[in-house]
Structure 1
Amino acid sequence: MTAADVHATEAQRATPRSFQSGPARVLFYVQHLLGIGHIARASRLADALSKAGFAVTVVTGGAPVDGFPGPGVDHIALPPVKASDVGFKGLFKMDGTPADDRFKADRRDLLLGIFDRLQPDVLITEAFPFGRRQMLFELLPLMEAALARKPKPLVVASLRDILQERPKPARDRETVDFTERFYDEILVHGDPSFARLEETFPFAAEVADKVRYTGLVAPPKPTPSEERYEVVVSAGGGAVGRDVIEAALKASHITPRKGPWAIITGPNLPQADFDRVSAQAPADVNVFRFRRDFGSLLASAALSVSQAGYNTAGDILRAGCRAVLIPFTTGGETEQGERAARLERLGLARVLKQENLSPQVLSVMIQDALTMAPHAAPELDLDGARNTATLLSERLAQRAGH
């Protein structure tokens, strides 16, 4: 047992309420609107919290995603909503009709009922109040309920390391107001040597006393797969990865290959597109919708080609493979471009801008990246899930001591 393990164990023993009425209860609210990155990261966190002795209930509000939030964690699904497009304008039900006021009121009441029934010791909101303003109709009543309850639960924001730039400064000011009124902790799931909150949130200094860096929420170091691919192409959830998949498919026809390739489209790529990609792929290019052993495939691959989402970056860093990153920047998105640029500066990836993506350019970059020396293990904290469990245990122990 390492020193970190001992530290975590001691913190768990001091978890609140002295376990007189059972383990500390966590209500973890997660709303994914387009991709699967938010629910994937939250699922890793929920798993770590559960293993640390918390009783975790994840409440989701997006389209079901197979395998998430995972075994050992209670899951309650609200009637799902999705975004209309990459601009996240408007909320829609799964049948494509707008989420009207009655629908929203029903969701709000369901969420408040869950909170009242669970009586959580810890309330975690993924992204909010730094994002998910589309959900204010239910999140503000939830925050008010938490503030009014005696004893008040520990209220925590779960936040990725790099935020989307906002064109409206008033939104950032509102975030500060929400944080000061409702939140006890802001858990930034990143390594401060890689990215700091103040670099993408202009008012970070005003909430600095509540900020804790957990490290990146990456998976455990994978065992290399016996199924070996020279290049593994992936598109996250697939909702916005069609251009990457199309370019990689065409590049596979013109790129010299020393071994088979894998193309993982993501579960959200439309079925017609998946069938066409499968039909047009060369014989030694295997096409999959999803692979639970994605990290193991990367660990045995020569190169990863992907977008630059938070979770994929964590998988790449754990696997230690070479990488070509094609950050998603449509609709003014800045987060993936910033992450990709930082990884490139560390010598951990090559970056191909989305506007320059073509099969020919991608083929050249793949061949060039395959000549890179495999990078050494990054000096970044990748144990964000376990560190989060430890931080919350310590925080609750402090409360119990008072």
Structure 2
Amino acid sequence: MKKIMFYCQYLSGMGHLVRSSQIVRSLANYFQVYFITGGPEIPGFELPPQVEVIKLPALWLEAGKFTVGDSLFGVEEVKAARKNLLIAECDRIQPDCLITEFFPFGRHKLLFELIPLVEHLKATSPNTKIVSSLRDVIGKESEPEEAETICNLMNEYFDLLLFHADAKFQKFSDSFARYREIKAEVIHTGFVTQPAIGNFASANMWDDASGKIKILASIGGGRIGSEVLETLIESSAILSQKLPHVIKIFTGPFLPVEKVAKLRKLAGDRSHIQIETYTSQLLDYMNTADISISLSGYNTTMNILSTGVRAIVVPIGHECQDKEQLHRTQKLEKLGIVSSICPEDLSPLHLAEKVINCIQIKILNNLQKFDLQGSENTAIFLQKFLSKAPALSIV
């Protein structure tokens, strides 16, 4: 079996990790896969058991600066250790392919380890293919200097770009203005989604939900979006007058403890509002919910598409110039797949009204609109690409 090293560094949330781990699961059916991660531990998050996981010393961003948490080593020591470990693992594994998630379209703060890695590969193993794995919307419009860097890095080091979107929804040319300057082949793989199991024990997942509307609320990793959960809890009193309901909230593993405490205080002793940190069964909950309330990150959106659940999304960015969620939301709402609330319009009354209106709307059949087999398509294409067989067209 050919060997693939897949590099995934999640710096603030967990969306990149969730998408990458799903791709890796599919790759493992065809390749020997080594999954490199470098963020903080996420209790309860399971990585593919058939994949060798290489954990770099943890590094992530707080207020735009690197932090190492309670590590005994400083940031610069951790950076040096990571760089050396990456090269050592590369020499041990001798991969046929290196995949870098989101780089070089982002992750430029990690140039200290990624440039030495790709330079080392080019020098010691020139036949190793280097591939970029990219979500549907980059997030922010690149400044001229940054766009120049992206083009230079792609053209100097990369053989292929895997763009994880259905071309009917979003093309690479829609996401990157200077797409014509990219020399590498670009493949639209379809969306990367978790597989729907289709056998859900609703009664066990939703306590005391008989005859009530089941409302699911989540905000991904939890670093942003807590105001959505606060507003939902506050809207419950308004909703109760017209809509008996239960609310299941997942805060995400990175929501600060003081904000979790605030949510629990807002909920008080109301048993129909249940607050948990994280679940590996979010897709199961979404399959059994009457309505989902969330942000509009890539993975949550894919869950909405694959389950067809009624959904209200609030597009929020890590920074004011980050338009990833807004762009995705605008397209989805235009197609009638989601309803949205702008962050500045978020209020208990407005949210309650949205929930009531959405419950009355017939669910559209979203399941056939888009190609949701992106992880499997990626694996099949790479099998042909790395074996030098004729290219499979997935555009």
TM-score (normalised: structure 1): 0.89
Q: Which residue of 2 aligns with 1:301?
A: 289
- Unaligned residue ranges in structure 2 (runs of 5+): 207-212
> Deviation at 1:152?
2.2
Contact 2:154/2:184 (8 A) holds in 1: no
Amino acid at match of 2:53: H
* Superposed CA RMSD: 2.0
**Whole-angstrom CA distance in 1 between matches of 2:341 and 2:179:** 30
Contact 1:40/1:69 (8 A) holds in 2: no
Question: How does 1:267-306 map onto structure 2 within 5 Å?
Answer: 267-281=253-267, 282-306=270-294
Contact 1:222/1:319 (8 A) holds in 2: no
Identity %: 31
Contact 2:140/2:324 (8 A) holds in 1: yes
1:266 aligns with 2:252: yes
Q: Number of residues paired by the alignment?
A: 375
Question: How does 1:345-360 map onto structure 2 within 5 Å?
Answer: 345-360=334-349
Q: Which residue of 1 aligns with 2:60?
A: 82
Amino acid at match of 1:269: L
Question: How does 1:324-335 map onto structure 2 within 5 Å?
Answer: 324-331=312-319, 332-335=321-324
Q: Which residue of 2 aligns with 1:395?
A: 385
> Deviation at 1:98?
10
Q: Which residue of 1 aligns with 2:210?
A: none
**Whole-angstrom CA distance in 2 between matches of 1:58 and 1:357:** 39
1:53 aligns with 2:27: no
Question: How does 1:155-166 map onto structure 2 within 5 Å?
Answer: 155-166=130-141
The 3 A distance-change label for structure 1 pair 323 and 400 is closer
TM-score (normalised: structure 2): 0.90
Contact 2:230/2:266 (8 A) holds in 1: no
**Whole-angstrom CA distance in 2 between matches of 1:45 and 1:99:** 32
Cα deviation digits, residues 255-297 of structure 1 (max 9, x gap): 1333312111111112233244235422112211112221111
Contact 1:187/1:214 (8 A) holds in 2: yes
Cα deviation digits, residues 331-370 of structure 1 (max 9, x gap): 2210011111111011000011112112222111111111
Question: How does 1:167-316 map onto structure 2 within 5 Å?
Answer: 167-207=142-182, 209-223=184-198, 224-226=200-202, 227-228=205-206, 230-256=214-240, 257-281=243-267, 282-316=270-304
Amino acid at match of 1:53: Y
> Deviation at 1:71?
2.1
> Deviation at 1:164?
1.5
Cα deviation digits, residues 352-401 of structure 1 (max 9, x gap): 11121122221111111111111102410001011110010010111799
Amino acid at match of 1:264: F
The DSSP-based 3-state class of the residue aligned with 2:234 is helix
The 3 A distance-change label for structure 1 pair 114 and 385 is same
Match of 1:108 among 52, 68, 83: 83
The DSSP-based 3-state class of the residue aligned with 1:230 is strand
Question: How does 1:60-79 map onto structure 2 within 5 Å?
Answer: 60-66=37-43, 67-79=45-57
Moved more, 284-293 or 36-45: 284-293
The DSSP-based 3-state class of the residue aligned with 2:88 is helix
The 3 A distance-change label for structure 1 pair 209 and 107 is closer
Question: How does 1:88-99 map onto structure 2 within 5 Å?
Answer: 89-95=64-70
Contact 2:30/2:379 (8 A) holds in 1: no
**Whole-angstrom CA distance in 2 between matches of 1:400 and 1:102:** 45
1:386 aligns with 2:376: yes
